[in-house]
């Protein structure tokens, strides 16, 4: 796998990132939405097998290629899984032209100061070494902001950048995801604090590596445009955050330079019971809509 080619694609190509990294507590809900009830499995292993089958169905669909989907974020078990006897990261890049990323966080701590920091990540170094060995290009780690509390937001940003430095030391590109909840009672206020914190940390960032930022689509259009243009930022990408796809795409289309990294919004029309023809058509429609919002701005 050519890291130089992946870097060029992530830096220059038009398109968006598919977030296929539901894990742990979010998996049952994702399966229910797909049409698979809790009664269809009896343990976590069976649950993740069904989730893997869904993801394989997505990434092998005709429309899921690097022409519009420039990258995909994977859960650890997906990274370690196979598609037609081929490791998933290898299949994504060699067969689909899609750059593989890995979700590395292990969930959230209880809320304090209006935010939820990431839990400690045990065996992070071993996980990063495994990702490198499998041709993964970068990582993603998520934390959550609910309230515009300066100390809490500062703690979130600091933790994200500390983790990013460890990841960059392994030659991987970190995606920092400090999500502002769309149901925050002061979403715009929290986003303003986050923007300022991210900009401050970027100005003080050691070394010469680049990071990516994954943020909630802001209430103020183009809030993050100066970070899109920052030399230490490879991309600024947007999470859908629970917005339906139509609304998420409309909001995204007003933010110049920002591309999607949608999860629920990408697969919201897909169902287990669909024929392959219907499934592929629904996914193609979703990909086309998200691609347009990522590349054609109003």
> Which run of H or of E encompasses 7?
helix 3-12
Q: Is residue 12 flagged as an active site residue?
A: no
What is the longest distance spanned by two Cα atoms in the chain?
52
Q: How far apart are CA 37 and CA 160, in angstroms?
A: 35
Q: Which residue has the tokens 């591309």?
A: 259
CA angle at 37 for the pair 34 and 40, rounded to the nearest 5°: 115
Q: Is residue 179 flagged as an active site residue?
A: no
From 68, 103, 149, 177, active-site residue: 177
123: left (phi over 0), alpha (psi -120 to 50) or beta: left
Q: Which two tokens stand for residue 277?
A: 């023809």
Q: How far apart are CA 231 and CA 211, in angstroms?
A: 10
From 68, 140, 187, 214, active-site residue: 214
Q: Looking at the DSSP assignment, which residues form a beta bridge with residue 118?
A: 108
Backbone phi, psi, residue 251, to 5° = -65, -45
Where in the sequence numbering do the catalytic residues fall?
177, 214
């Amino acid at each position: 796998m050519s890291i130089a080619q992946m870097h060029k694609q992530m830096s220059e190509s038009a398109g968006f990132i598919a977030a296929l990294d539901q894990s742990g507590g979010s998996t049952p809900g994702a399966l229910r939405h797909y049409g698979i009830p809790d009664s269809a499995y009896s343990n976590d292993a069976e649950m993740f097998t069904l989730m893997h089958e869904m993801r394989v169905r997505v990434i092998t669909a005709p429309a899921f290629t690097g022409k519009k989907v420039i990258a995909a974020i994977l859960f650890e078990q997906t990274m370690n899984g196979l598609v037609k006897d081929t490791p998933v990261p290898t299949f994504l890049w060699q067969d689909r032209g899609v750059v593989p990323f890995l979700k590395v966080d292990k969930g959230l701590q209880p809320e304090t100061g209006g935010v939820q920091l990431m839990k400690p990540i045990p065996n992070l170094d071993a996980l990063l070494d495994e990702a490198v060995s499998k041709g993964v290009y970068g990582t993603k780690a998520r934390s959550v902001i609910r309230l515009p509390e300066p100390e809490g937001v500062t703690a979130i940003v600091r933790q994200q950048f500390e983790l990013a430095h460890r990841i960059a030391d392994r030659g991987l590109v970190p995606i920092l995801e400090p999500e502002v909840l769309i149901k925050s009672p002061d979403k715009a206020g929290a986003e303003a604090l986050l923007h300022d914190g991210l900009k401050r940390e970027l100005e003080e960032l050691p070394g010469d590596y680049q990071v990516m930022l994954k943020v909630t689509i802001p209430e103020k259009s183009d809030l993050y445009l100066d970070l899109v243009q920052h030399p230490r930022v490879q991309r600024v990408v947007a999470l859908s955050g629970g917005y339906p796809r139509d609304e998420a795409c409309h909001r995204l289309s007003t933010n110049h330079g920002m591309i999607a990294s949608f999860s629920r919004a990408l697969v919201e029309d897909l169902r287990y019971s669909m024929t392959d023809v219907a499934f592929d058509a629904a996914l193609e429609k979703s990909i086309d809509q998200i691609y347009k919002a990522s590349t054609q701005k109003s």
